[in-house]
């Protein structure tokens, strides 16, 4: 059985009209005491994010990843396997920090990183793809196709929606199975759009359904079908960009947050300038 530690690596500060979207960036350290797995590797640092994407940020980069792994009692050199849920810049930037680890990624995701849909070109950075392809198979890179049992207690599900090669690990713990859904529904409101605990704007007409994310390569039906498959295979989901996800699983365990309190995604206009300025320092 595995334990899962959430690594809070930083935030992106994205202006949206009169408000500011605060986008927390997470990765997960997964271990059974013997095998050490990292699910995603996070975003670039503040300066690189500003230079490449024109947005402010806090944290990120290799320093943040080394620090948060250290808080879990481990370090980059101890990581055996990296599961790349997908190859967007905020999930796959720091691969060079783990030359000894085997990166597991869907073959379709690599193809999409080479030739993405036009709306996602900005999210795939050239350095990430080159770093990935420079790894020597099979010790450094494992390309898979479809659902795979990676090892006892860890199953990978290919779930197109956010990207064609999106994959979600289903991890067994003492309390049940956890889906680290990353950006396949990156907030609780995507998974529970009718639940007032998940969102300040519950949509009752969507009871029993899902709200696909705005960034997607596939149709809404394909996206929702992927979400349904994942939820049927697990007991709880952990989205990538919600502030309220548990920090240590299974010690913390819930299907839906207790309330919307702590959902800091959007700041009001009078606070956004200050937050943006602070992030740019």
CA distances from 106 to 41, 124, 148 (A): 16, 15, 10
Confidence of residue 21 (pLDDT cuts 50, 70, 90): confident
Confidence of residue 278 (pLDDT cuts 50, 70, 90): very low
- Residue partners of 6: CB distance under 8 A and separation at least 6: 26, 28, 238, 245, 246, 247, 248, 249
What is the span of the domain harbouring residue 72? 3-270
277 inside domain: no
Total domains in the chain come to: 1
42 inside domain: yes
Higher pLDDT, 34 or 272: 34
Predicted structure pTM score: 0.93
278 inside domain: no
**Quick one: tokens of 221?**
């039906």
Is the pLDDT at 280 greater than 70? The verdict is no
CB atoms near residue 22 (< 10 Å): 20
280 inside domain: no
Quick: pLDDT tens for 217-237.
999 999 999 999 999 999 999
Quick: pLDDT tens for 155-189.
999 999 999 999 999 999 999 999 999 999 999 99
60 inside domain: yes
Contact 149, 233 (CB under 8 A): no
46 inside domain: yes
Quick: pLDDT tens for 29-60.
999 999 999 999 999 999 999 999 999 999 99
The CATH number given to whatever domain includes residue 209 is 3.60.15.10
Buried-exposed string 24-46: b where 16+ CB fall within 10 A, e elsewhere: bbbbbbbbbeebbbbbbbbbbbb
243 inside domain: yes
Q: What is the overall mean pLDDT for the chain? A: 93
**CA-derived radius of gyration, the chain:** 18
How far is Cα 6 from Cα 72, in angstroms, rounded to an integer?
A: 9
**Quick one: tokens of 247?**
């920090």
| Per-residue pLDDT at 266 | 66
Is the pLDDT at 150 greater than 80? The verdict is yes
| Per-residue pLDDT at 267 | 57
- Residue partners of 148: CB distance under 8 A and separation at least 6: 155, 156
């Amino acid at each position: 059985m595995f334990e899962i530690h959430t690594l809070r690596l930083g935030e992106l500060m994205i202006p949206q009209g009169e408000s500011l979207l605060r986008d927390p960036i997470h990765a997960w350290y997964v271990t059974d005491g013997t095998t050490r797995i990292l699910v995603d590797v996070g975003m670039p640092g503040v300066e690189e994010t500003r230079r490449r994407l024109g947005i402010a940020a806090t944290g990120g980069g290799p320093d943040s990843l080394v620090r948060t792994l250290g808080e879990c009692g481990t370090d980059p050199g101890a990581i055996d396997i990296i599961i790349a849920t997908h190859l967007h810049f905020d999930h796959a930037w720091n691969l060079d920090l783990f030359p000894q680890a085997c990166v597991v990624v869907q073959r379709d995701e690599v193809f999409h990183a080479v030739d993405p849909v036009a709306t996602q070109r900005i999210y795939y950075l050239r350095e990430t793809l080159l770093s990935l392809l420079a790894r020597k198979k099979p010790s450094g890179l494992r390309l898979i196709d479809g659902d795979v049992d990676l090892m006892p207690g860890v199953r990978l599900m290919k779930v197109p929606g956010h990207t064609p090669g999106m994959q979600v690990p289903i991890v067994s713990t003492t309390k049940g199975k956890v889906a680290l859904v990353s950006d396949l529904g990156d907030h609780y409101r995507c998974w529970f759009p009718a639940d007032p605990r998940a969102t300040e704007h519950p949509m009752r007409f969507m009871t029993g359904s899902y709200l696909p994310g705005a960034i997607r390569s596939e149709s809404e039906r394909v996206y929702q079908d992927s979400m349904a498959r994942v939820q049927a295979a697990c007991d709880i989901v952990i989205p990538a960009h919600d502030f309220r996800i548990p920090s240590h699983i299974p010690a913390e365990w819930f299907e839906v947050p207790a309330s919307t309190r702590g959902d800091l995604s959007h700041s009001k206009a009078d606070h956004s300038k200050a937050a943006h300025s602070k992030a740019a320092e």
